[in-house]
């Protein structure tokens, strides 16, 4: 079993059914904490205080969530995120909720109305006993963004005076607001003070679940996958006319592609988009797939194998060598994603959007490789570089221009291989050149 929402998870704890929670993935709304002898957070140390403040602020910045203490979570090789795998209830004496509240009050701004709850483990369980401690973190109103931790920390676990950080929940982990984004927000705030009453939007949360849905629908659970995601920063409920004539279902069915349904894009000559939880699912197994959620958020998945991103590159591989990616295929499918989303989906929900790429399992043996320049005609031309991470996850504010957004996606992806984006021959200044791409295939 697994909990699919905060409400369902709390209902399992209330009913003393903690084993029903096992299998729940950590995400933008839940984080599981096992309990060492000193408790979930060792508040006698600067590091423990910082970890508590960081986790609370990150959830506040991501729309709220639960810190659930008393479960051991582990990331499996076949999964993108950690999953609750064992119950570890503990004694209440390990947590002084007053001290927890004091740490949050001292080190998190603005002041958050965090709630603490205890839940009992079933008394008739001969294998475990004790309780579960849950910290419920509310979402910040948009006008109060961002939650800040008023201290940084050194590698040795000591507070840095006169420093601060802005943590953000990023799927099952925590990232930090980049310096460039902090600079932009400060400037936007100054402009807002001088002009009309403006509200800074929160960044779109990293939606992990759609990536899992696509992996399953495409049958590529154990395959390296490149994901594209686009999420409105201010979702407004159901997208109108999803299934109506001329709506998003028709857009996916009759895609305006550069080179037809048999090229490297998101159209399919064999599959049609199907209704899925108020949205749409177009799964062309095992190559690629698209999911459109009910609020308009889009996730695309392309397998990093010879079926798609490594198309016709077998000649460049030697036995068990790394999977070589095709520069042309990678560029075309990236541009086609943003031609589809920027032109047809973003206009459905007003306001800023966040684009994201996630390269999952690219470094797992035998790994994925990418070479500078165009696709080579001989094996050793181009010095292919290996991917350096299994969970490469980066986002940016959508520009709404397909060639510019495709450039941003590839710029982040090339860095995974230790390559500069200028190594891609289809780049023209700060954009992917549609003309160069099409000239290649004349």
Residue 106 has what pLDDT?
92
- For the stretch 195-199, contacts whose Cβ atoms lie closer than 8 Å and that sit 24 or more positions apart, written own/partner, are 199/142, 199/143
pTM for this entry: 0.57
Q: Identify the burial level of 194 via C-beta atoms within 10 angstroms of its C-beta, where 0-12 means exposed, 13-18 middle and 19 or more buried.
A: exposed
Residue 269 has what pLDDT?
85
- What pLDDT digit, counting tens, does each position of 189-246 carry? 555 555 544 444 455 668 888 999 999 999 999 999 999 999 998 888 889 899 999 9
Distance in angstroms between the alpha carbons of the first and the last residue of the chain: 52
* Residue 78: pLDDT over 90: no
Can you read off the two tokens belonging to residue 109? Answer: 């701004």
Q: How many CB atoms lie within 10 A of CB 275?
A: 11
Contact 294, 278 (CB under 8 A): yes
Lowest model confidence (mean pLDDT) among 28-32, 47-51, 72-76: 72-76
Q: Are strands 71-75 and 82-87 parallel, antiparallel or unpaired?
A: antiparallel
Residue 168 has what pLDDT?
84
Instruction: Output the CA torsion sign for 248, 252, 254, 257.
Output: positive
d(CA 403, CA 27) in angstroms, rounded, equals 31
Q: Give the residue extent of every domain in the chain.
A: 6-194, 209-440
Return the CATH class of domain 6-194.
alpha beta
* Residue 299: pLDDT over 80: yes
Residue 196 has what pLDDT?
45
């Amino acid at each position: 079993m697994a909990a699919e929402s905060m409400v369902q998870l709390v209902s399992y704890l209330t009913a003393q059914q903690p084993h029903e929670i096992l299998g729940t993935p950590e995400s933008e709304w839940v984080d599981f904490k096992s309990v060492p002898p000193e408790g979930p957070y060792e508040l006698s140390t600067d590091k423990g205080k910082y970890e508590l403040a960081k986790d609370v602020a990150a959830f506040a910045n991501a729309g709220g969530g639960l810190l659930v203490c008393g479960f051991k979570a582990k990331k499996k090789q076949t999964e993108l995120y950690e999953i609750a795998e064992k119950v570890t209830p503990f004694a209440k004496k390990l947590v002084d909720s007053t001290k927890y509240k004091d740490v949050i009050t001292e080190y998190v701004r603005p002041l958050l109305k965090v709630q603490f709850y205890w839940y009992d483990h079933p008394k008739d369980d001969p294998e475990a006993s004790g309780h579960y401690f849950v910290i419920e973190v509310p979402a910040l109103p948009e006008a109060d963004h961002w939650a800040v931790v008023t201290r940084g920390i050194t590698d040795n676990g000591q507070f840095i005076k006169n420093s601060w950080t802005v943590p953000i929940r990023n799927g099952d982990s925590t990232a930090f607001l980049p310096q460039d984004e902090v600079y932009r927000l400060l400037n936007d705030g100054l402009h807002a003070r001088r002009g009309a009453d403006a509200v800074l939007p929160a960044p779109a949360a990293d939606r992990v679940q759609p990536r899992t849905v696509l992996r399953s629908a495409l049958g590529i659970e154990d395959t390296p996958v490149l994901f594209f995601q686009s999420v409105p920063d201010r979702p407004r409920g159901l997208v109108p006319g999803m299934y109506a004539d001329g709506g998003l279902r028709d857009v996916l069915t009759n895609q305006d592609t550069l080179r037809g349904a048999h090229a490297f894009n998101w159209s399919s000559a064999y599959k049609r988009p199907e209704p899925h939880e108020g949205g749409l699912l177009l799964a062309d197994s095992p190559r690629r797939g698209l999911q459109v959620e009910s609020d308009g958020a889009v996730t695309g998945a392309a397998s990093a194998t010879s079926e798609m991103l490594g198309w016709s590159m077998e000649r460049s591989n030697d036995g068990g060598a790394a999977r070589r990616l095709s520069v042309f295929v990678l560029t075309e499918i990236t541009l086609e994603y943003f031609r589809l989303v920027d032109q047809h989906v973003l206009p459905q929900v007003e306001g800023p959007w966040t684009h994201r790429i996630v390269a999952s399992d690219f470094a797992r043996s035998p790994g994925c490789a990418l070479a500078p320049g165009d696709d080579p005609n001989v094996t050793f031309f181009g010095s292919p570089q290996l991917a350096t991470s299994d969970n490469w996850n980066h986002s940016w504010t959508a520009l709404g221009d397909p060639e510019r957004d495709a450039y941003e996606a590839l710029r982040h992806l090339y860095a995974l291989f230790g390559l500069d984006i200028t190594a891609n021959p289809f780049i023209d200044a700060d954009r992917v050149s549609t003309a160069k791409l099409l000239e290649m295939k004349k």
